[in-house]
Chain A
Amino acid sequence: MRYTLLLQFILFTLAATGQTILEGDVKDKTSEGLIGANVYIKDSYDGGTTDFDGHFRFETFETGDQILVVSFVGYETLELPINIEAAGNLQIELKESFNSIAAVTITAGAFEASDEKKAVVMKSLDIATTAGATADITGALNTLPGTQKVGESGRLFVRGGTSDETRIYIDGVEASNYYGATANGVPTRSRFSPFLFKGTFFSTGGYSAEFGQALSSALILNTNDVDPENKIDLSIMSVGLDAGVTRSWNDQSLYVKAGYMNLNPYNDLINQRVNWIDATKSWDGTLAYKKKLTNGGMFKVLGMTNTSGFHLEQYSTLSEKGYYDVQMANQNSFITSNVNLPVGDKDSFYFGGSASWNRDDLTYDETELSTPDFNMHWKAKFIHEFNAKQIINTGAEVFYTHVDREITTATDSVTLDYSNYNLAAYGEFDQYITEKLMMRFGARLSNQSVVSSTTLEPRFSMAYQVGEFAQFSLATGQFYQTPKKDYLLVTNTIDQERAQHYILNFQRIKESKIFRVETYLKDYDHLIRFQDQYDPTTFSNNGEGYAYGLDVFWRDRGGFKNIDYWVSYSWLKSERLFQDYPEKTTPGFSTAHNMSFVLKKFVPAIKSQLGATYSVTSGRPYENPNKEGFNESKTDVYQDLSFNMAFLPRPEVIIYLSATNLLGQDQVFGYRYANTPNDNGVIASEAIRLPAKRFLFIGCFITIGAFNKQLENL
């Protein structure tokens, strides 16, 4: 009896180790065999790989009811219940999976700079290495189509819009006072170094419902993730010094930087058109902390503080004493923090906030203008993936703004202020029909307390892929914006301004070559008009305008060895009736033709990257009071040829050299006129130019740490 039991046990064990052969075919929906698919019994090692005909055959020790798994890249994994003994010849068809990474993306109006994604126009490094941009984010973006060069400003002007019509966000929250303080005629720069960011998303229109309060454009900057290494960065520049320390430990990093700039030595060397009593001097400090959370989330803090000032005499024949005395002092602090929290595979939360304090004290001859202001933005958002093809992004936010103005003249003094709460909520739904076709429906509800106005802004965009490399996309939507600070200080009986965008885009990216063409129409209404900027009774929302045009972009990275170049061309037609314009006409910041040619070439023999940018812009309209009509005159064509060079003598050293306006063109941006005619009955004028014909920059950037740290391990 015992022996029988033992025998049974042994037999059972043997039966359990007995082998069965499973075979069959794996095919796609067109009955084409799939090569290299993995076919196996779940929770066992037993399985095989399909051959050139999609055929598989393997032995298994498993018995009875099991689950057969068939997996193949690009296809949905199939789990098939089978009975090993009764399986027979298995015929399996796999369904192509939906791959959101390979799926079409909306490119209408959007330029992206990123190192992570493939289908982007720029790499992050491009922003820092574009000649003529002198490592300024806005400068680099100004070489893309859809932007108009307004050289004396240094700001972004997009498709016939003013610079106020672009809003700038860092990690999802607003970066108020993005531009450094400056005075008339001295171009500004971004306060933020391009090296703080891993990606830039620049929308020239038709942007997502997640963003609002910008009639033309949104610039979205995403900061770097956790720094991988401890290091020290030193910058010795013709304009100042900079030192930064990065400490990296346990999935977190801390970066602290301090900088001092003083343009006095530079201005003494290079001929200036203004008399600098004291050139731009500034102190700045930056702090960035990042932590990768254990659940895959990310926490970030970025803080910056900055104090700067200058004093100059601007020569002018229009002034009785022969010059205007201009003095500026600025104090600015900015802090932003945000956390991204994924919950499971399908949901993620985001909370972010930013606060910005800014105070400019400007003295213009006898007039003193003091502008302390405070901005705060809080935002919460939630993203839910119903499935790979349906994603909803929804959120709510509040902006608070408080603005003060103290204006003191020789005879008078005025104090003005206002506060505004902007509450907004948005929802946006992405629906992929296939990998090649997607639609995005969005809407934004927004309330502005200062002008007591509530708006509902619908947005829609879609993308359709044609062939393997090309796609069409379109975007449309309504965009509202509260009138600018200067007007709100005077009156609050005005309403929001509005623009409607229509954009059609074609893009083809194949290997290193990118071609884009985009056409658009932007319809403005409810624009602010006034007869007297300081008389509230003359204000109305009766203004209107339009802009339409064509943008073309071509880039080839590496088609020729070590050469990377891009060409942008924009044609724009725009007219407006706004501000104190007596008639509808093309404003002074709108130019019909803008072209940029950017070239970068790496020369291994001298370990250097050389760059050149050539820009040409057709004449800008300006108002000449000596002539009939309004904005009837045009400046000469603007041209600029800039050059830069980055020389890498050692892994830890970069020597950087750049120069603008190599051709020495007399760049005139417009004219200033006297208030009254002279003895000959002519109203005298003078050209608006930059403070210097050229800008030269030399810097040496040293990184200690990443490359030397291995010494510790020897």
Chain B
Amino acid sequence: MKTLFTTIAILTVTLGFSQSKFESAILRGKQMINDADTVTAMQNAVNYFQRIAQKETTEWLPWYYQAQIICFMASSNSDLDAKENQLNKALELIEAGKKIEKNAELLALEGFVQMLRVSVDPATRGQKLSPVVFGLYNQALAIDPQNPRARLFLGQFQYGTAQFFGTGFEEACVNVKKAYDIFENQPSEPTIYPSWGMGSARAALANCNQ
């Protein structure tokens, strides 16, 4: 009897371990993203999430994080052709994630990628892609009005638009402030879900308060 209990205990531990393996892998990956300060480290993190994605075929998070890192790589890339390729790659990854679950986080990130695509060629893309970008943020917020990233990106895009046209920042800043408040009230314990953006929100809010 004792043996049986021991066996069950071992099995439970083993099973329990395998259940949280995905979660701990994601948490470890998020730490890799935070620590990545070189292209090599970022590529390493992309590969890491690619491995999780091929194993966990019903999870959208590994696709999301791959796309997120590639976005970061693209945003600091000065070679426009390479940047364009990276952004297209990010869109592909987001599309793969959306096939599993079409949610606010993926839509917000897609808007973020499209925003970066505008910056590659603002003169020809601005007019056509601006509605696409706004559309994606609005879709994301329709699903989850409390998504801080969708709210923040929307505010930032409105800010940029207002800056270009020399119109007021009120609307943009309302969204930035709202995003900042949501970030502030985020629980501090680690989560496997996206939690980045607080720094940008603080910076955007500082701009608004100038």
- Cβ of A2: which chain B residues have Cβ within 8 Å of it? 3
Give min CB distance, A35 to chain B, whole Å: 8
Tell me the count of chain B residues lying within 8 A, CB to CB, of chain A. Answer: 47
Q: Which of A10, A35, A36 has the most CB of B within 10 A?
A: A36
For the complex, is B169 an interface residue (Cβ under 8 Å from A)? Answer: no
- Cβ of B55: which chain A residues have Cβ within 8 Å of it? 43-45
For the complex, is A115 an interface residue (Cβ under 8 Å from B)? Answer: yes
Q: Who on chain B is nearest to A73 by CB? A: B89
- Interface residue from A36, A73, A123, A706 paired with B40 (Cβ < 8 Å): A36
Q: Which of A413-421, A534-542, A645-653, A672-680 is near enough to bind chain B?
A: A645-653
Asked if A123 and B124 sit within 8 Å, CB to CB, the answer is yes
Contact with B along A660-687 (1 / 0, CB 8 A): 0000000000000000000000000000
Asked if B125 and A651 sit within 8 Å, CB to CB, the answer is no
- Cβ of B7: which chain A residues have Cβ within 8 Å of it? 6, 9
Asked if B165 and A115 sit within 8 Å, CB to CB, the answer is no
Contact with B along A421-440 (1 / 0, CB 8 A): 00000000000000000000
Given contacts A651-B167, A706-B131, contact A49 B44 (CB under 8 A): yes
Give min CB distance, A284 to chain B, whole Å: 23
CA distance A510 to B137 in the complex (A): 34
CA distance A711 to B142 in the complex (A): 12
For the complex, is B50 an interface residue (Cβ under 8 Å from A)? Answer: yes
Contact with A along B35-64 (1 / 0, CB 8 A): 000001001100110111011000000000
Give min CB distance, B84 to chain A, whole Å: 7
Asked if B131 and A49 sit within 8 Å, CB to CB, the answer is no
Given contacts A602-B123, A651-B161, A713-B145, contact A36 B134 (CB under 8 A): no
For the complex, is B6 an interface residue (Cβ under 8 Å from A)? Answer: yes
Give min CB distance, B94 to chain A, whole Å: 15
CA distance A125 to B84 in the complex (A): 19
- Cβ of A714: which chain B residues have Cβ within 8 Å of it? 174-175
Given contacts A229-B131, A564-B123, contact A10 B10 (CB under 8 A): yes
CA distance A3 to B2 in the complex (A): 11
- Cβ of B158: which chain A residues have Cβ within 8 Å of it? 710
- Cβ of B84: which chain A residues have Cβ within 8 Å of it? 118
CA distance A568 to B44 in the complex (A): 48
Asked if A706 and B135 sit within 8 Å, CB to CB, the answer is yes
- Cβ of A706: which chain B residues have Cβ within 8 Å of it? 130-131, 134-135
Q: Is the interface of B mostly helix, strand, loop or mixed?
A: helix
Q: Who on chain B is nearest to A650 by CB? A: B165
Asked if B132 and A38 sit within 8 Å, CB to CB, the answer is no
- Cβ of B136: which chain A residues have Cβ within 8 Å of it? 228
- Interface residue from B52, B89, B167 paired with A650 (Cβ < 8 Å): B167
- Cβ of B176: which chain A residues have Cβ within 8 Å of it? none
Asked if A3 and B142 sit within 8 Å, CB to CB, the answer is no
For the complex, is B25 an interface residue (Cβ under 8 Å from A)? Answer: yes
- Interface residue from B51, B125, B164 paired with A45 (Cβ < 8 Å): B51
Given contacts A38-B47, A42-B54, contact A710 B128 (CB under 8 A): no
- Cβ of B134: which chain A residues have Cβ within 8 Å of it? 229, 706-707, 709-710
CA distance A709 to B131 in the complex (A): 10
- Cβ of B51: which chain A residues have Cβ within 8 Å of it? 38, 40, 44-47
For the complex, is B187 an interface residue (Cβ under 8 Å from A)? Answer: no
Given contacts A13-B14, A651-B167, contact A710 B154 (CB under 8 A): yes
CA distance A637 to B55 in the complex (A): 71
Q: Who on chain B is nearest to A600 by CB? A: B123
Given contacts A47-B51, A607-B166, contact A115 B124 (CB under 8 A): yes
Q: Who on chain B is nearest to A653 by CB? A: B165
CA distance A123 to B126 in the complex (A): 12
Asked if B135 and A228 sit within 8 Å, CB to CB, the answer is yes
For the complex, is B181 an interface residue (Cβ under 8 Å from A)? Answer: no
Q: Offer 18 A-B interface pairs, CB within 8 angstroms, sorted by A.
A: A9-B7, A38-B47, A47-B48, A125-B127, A125-B128, A228-B136, A229-B131, A229-B134, A229-B138, A562-B123, A602-B123, A607-B165, A649-B165, A651-B130, A651-B161, A651-B165, A709-B134, A714-B175
Residues of B within 8 A of A (CB): 3, 6-7, 10, 14, 21, 25, 40, 43-44, 47-48, 50-52, 54-55, 80-81, 84, 89, 123-125, 127-128, 130-132, 134-138, 141-142, 145, 154, 158, 161, 164-167, 171, 174-175
Known: A124-B128, A229-B131, A710-B137. 20 other contacts (CB 8 A): A3-B3, A42-B54, A43-B54, A43-B55, A45-B25, A45-B55, A47-B51, A51-B40, A73-B89, A115-B128, A227-B131, A228-B131, A511-B81, A562-B123, A607-B165, A609-B123, A650-B165, A706-B131, A710-B138, A710-B154
